[in-house]
Amino acid sequence: MSQYQWFMNCPRGLEGLLKAELDTLGAENARETVAGVYADGDSAFAYRVCLWSRFANRVLMPLGRFDVPSSQALYDGVTAITWQDHLPIGATIAVDFVGTNDAIRHSQYGAQRVKDAIVDAMVKQGAPRPNVELRSPDLRINAHLAKGRIVISLDLSGESLHRRGYRVAMVPAPLKENLAAAILVRAGWPEICARGGALIDPMCGSGTLLIEGALMAADIAPGLLRERFGFQGWKQYDAALWREVSREAGERRAAGLARDLPEIRGYDKDRRAVDATLKNIAEIGLDNVVKVICKPLSSISKPTHKIIENGLLVSNPPYGERWGDVESLRPLYRSLGDIARREFPGWTLGVFTGNPDLASELRLRSDRKYKFFNGTIPSQLLMFSLREVFAGDAPKVERPLSEQATMFLNRLEKNGRKLNGWLKRSGVTCYRLYDRDIPEYAVAVDVYGDAIHVQEYAPPANIDEQTARRRLTDIRRALARAFPDSVGRTYFKERRRQKGDSQYRRLATDQGSGGVFTVQEGAARLEVNLSDYLDTGLFLDHRPIRTKLAGMARGKRFLNLFCYTAAATVQAAVGGCVSSLSIDMSNTYLEWAARNFALNGIDPRRHELLRADCMEWLSQRQGQYDVIFLDPPTFSNSKKMSAVLDVQRDHVAMIDDAMAILAPGGTLIFSNNFRRFKLDPALFERYEIEDITAATLPPDFERNRKIHHCWLVHHRRG
């Protein structure tokens, strides 16, 4: 039987496991490289790898290697390959092209050039023209271009080998099957299984770890469920040989399932995840091997229906993409560590995570660490030997702050000292303490009484994920040191530009809805929500404007446009305005405004809330008002609006319409938060305008003097 050179690629970090596996499958001269292993072997070897490999992605047969200084060189090199030896008559093909250089600047162009060369070569050799079939071709060709040199290979696996064929139901962000297998092997599952130990995943998701563990325990080939492999479209495919390889795998499966298999259990609090796992287990025929129950982490304990001396508790808990998600996951990791130590003494715990900081919340000391990549995310498997919990176990000692975290803490304390005198004189309890003072720590920190609200600005594209996470960890620890009594009342969010009505929607985080408080601002009581929305319900930089309105509106008719939660109206009403109308298009904000009115005993018969498009309502020029507060958003394309709002483009029309309903002697306060905003000079010819921006910047926002712009607008006298 002919010998060939093969290249089996795999996720980074799995090369050593793959090489050891290939040795057991009959590889000759196996040698590792980055993200793969080269090996020699016959066709039977390639078939066995496709069927049995738990770690490989693809089995590639290199057909040609050559430099690609030009597009023509690529075409010529591919044409020189004897394609008639590999492509059957009438076969369909697809080309997977990876890489670029100065000559091939787009992978799609590279794939097209390779395809053209193959087709032309086959036609020149007297064969019919091959057709392209991108989804389910008879044979895939792999082209890998790096450092100006390309490798052209046949892909004998077809679809990636990590797709075993059992995943018929999905959950978000599932663990890839070959990565799950690698985690289990590194965690020692084959050895634990051989000793009769159990396997439990307390947060099983769609059950990948459980199913891969069961396949190993029952000696089932991971590719046995697949309907097709790429080598079946190869001209040199030996159907009889494949039947023999697959027959042997079938016999081993039957023998493995006939054995007394270990206890394999999974749990998840999400009923949808459990249902997905059960479907996947049924698809591969392991219903009698793997048991899954809908149960929260807090209720999990070691099985008691039979004596199990040891086992592997393994999990891939979530580690969050957004900062708020990360913070909400800390209790989950602490609970996992506590339950593992309390309920599973003598067992082994394996935790796979892409967030080392969250892993520290386990409060356990790892015995071993293995590095992996989950896609592009650097990750690690942490291994722990669990022991009995003794009364004398010392609590976790807080780690000292890093130099960077100490720097951030020092800035918090410096800002606090600077504001302290003003806070005592003014009685202000809600204020901004920090706003990107240190460029590396791009967050805004606001204090609401004894609660802390932290918003992260999206990090620049040049900051890698690990660095961003490390900086956020520094911030969290520094805040815990600065405000130890507020640790349980600290709320974290990521600030992003809002589109349409997304600003009105609740955040999809696990922080809960416990961040609703009533705060005092002057004589007014206002509701803030630090947990559920990106904005809290109270724009702190407008505090002086609201105070000014409380005095200006006494005895007057007040109009609040784009009223948000109507905090300005509350101040005007408490200050003595005779009537008010507050307009916004969001039911969420108007319901919030109604609660603010109720907190202050404001009569809704004299102080009306109206749901409407402010621009459309203004254009109708209804009523007359003595004081108007016009504070539009910078941009809005909400579906609830009749037109897109752009404050720079539309401010002249809005001001003209507002001035048309402003009573003689009245005042329009126009404000916005667009940093590059320029007031149209033509307005100065029609109205008396005074820029009061500097006077409306409170001490806690003096570091950010472009936080808003504000003008007083009056009718010209005479």
Q: Which tokens sit at 661?
A: 């309903």
Query: For residue 590, what pLDDT is reported?
Result: 97
Instruction: State the pTM of this model.
Output: 0.67
Predicted confidence (pLDDT) at residue 217 exceeds the cutoff of 70: yes
Percent of the chain with pLDDT over 90: 75
pLDDT at site 388: 54
Mean pLDDT of 13-21: 96
Q: Give the C-alpha separation, 585 to 570, whole Å.
A: 18
Model confidence pLDDT, tens digit, residues 658-705: 999 999 999 999 999 999 999 999 999 999 999 999 999 999 998 888
> Can you give the pLDDT at residue 512?
41
Residue 527 has pLDDT above 60, yes or no: yes
Is the pLDDT at 397 greater than 80? The verdict is no
Mean per-residue pLDDT for 640-654? 87
Is the predicted pLDDT of residue 396 greater than 90, yes or no? Answer: no
Buried/exposed code over 559-587 (b: 16+ C-beta within 10 A; e: otherwise): bbbbbbbbbbbbbbbbbebebbbbbbbbe
The yes-or-no verdict on residue 423 having pLDDT over 50 is yes
C-beta neighbour count of 68 within 10 angstroms: 24
For residues 333, 334, 340 and 342, what is the CA-based torsion angle, rounded to 10 degrees? -170
Determine the topology of domain 177-222+260-385 in CATH. Answer: Rossmann fold (3.40.50)
pLDDT computed for residue 145 by the predictor: 96
Residue 212 has pLDDT above 70, yes or no: yes
Q: What value does the mean pLDDT take over residues 15-44? A: 96
* The pLDDT of residue 528 is above 60: yes
Q: 529 with 515: CB under 8 angstroms? A: yes
Mean pLDDT over each residue of the chain, to the nearest integer:
90
Pairing mode of beta strands 635-636, 579-584: unpaired
Q: How high is the pLDDT of residue 675?
A: 92
Please check whether residue 540 is in contact with residue 446, taking contact to mean a CB–CB distance below 8 angstroms: yes
* Mean pLDDT in residue range 537-546: 97
pLDDT at 357: 83
**Of the candidates 713, 711, 708, which has an alpha carbon nearest to the alpha carbon of residue 542?**
708
Can you tell me the mean pLDDT for 499-522?
Answer: 60
| Tens-digit pLDDT profile for residues 289-327 | 999 999 999 999 888 766 677 899 999 998 876 555 677
In the chain, where the domains are located: 4-155, 177-222+260-385, 539-715
| Distance separating alpha carbons of residues 317 and 335, to the nearest angstrom | 12
Other CB atoms within 10 Å distance of the CB of residue 714: 16
Please state the rounded mean pLDDT for residues 388-392. 45
Note whether 7 and 29 are within 8 A (CB). no
Per-residue pLDDT for 75 more than 90? yes
Q: How confident is the model at residue 525 (pLDDT cuts 50, 70, 90)?
A: very high
Residue 69's pLDDT is what? 96
Confidence check: pLDDT of 651 > 50: yes
CATH number belonging to domain 539-715: 3.40.50.150
Q: Give the pLDDT of residue 454.
A: 94
pLDDT per residue over 167-189, tens digit each? 988 777 689 999 999 999 999 99
Question: Is-same-fold flag (177-222+260-385; 539-715)?
Answer: yes
pLDDT at position 399 over 70: no
Of residues 392 and 424, the one with the higher pLDDT is 424
pLDDT in tens, 241-294: 999 999 999 999 999 999 999 999 999 999 999 999 999 999 999 999 999 999
Residue 639 confidence (pLDDT): 67
Nearest Cα neighbor of 219 from 239, 192, 248 is 248
Output the pLDDT for position 458: 76
Confidence of residue 584 (pLDDT cuts 50, 70, 90): very high
Neighbours of 551 (CB within 10 A): 11
Q: CATH assignment of 4-155?
A: 3.30.2130.30
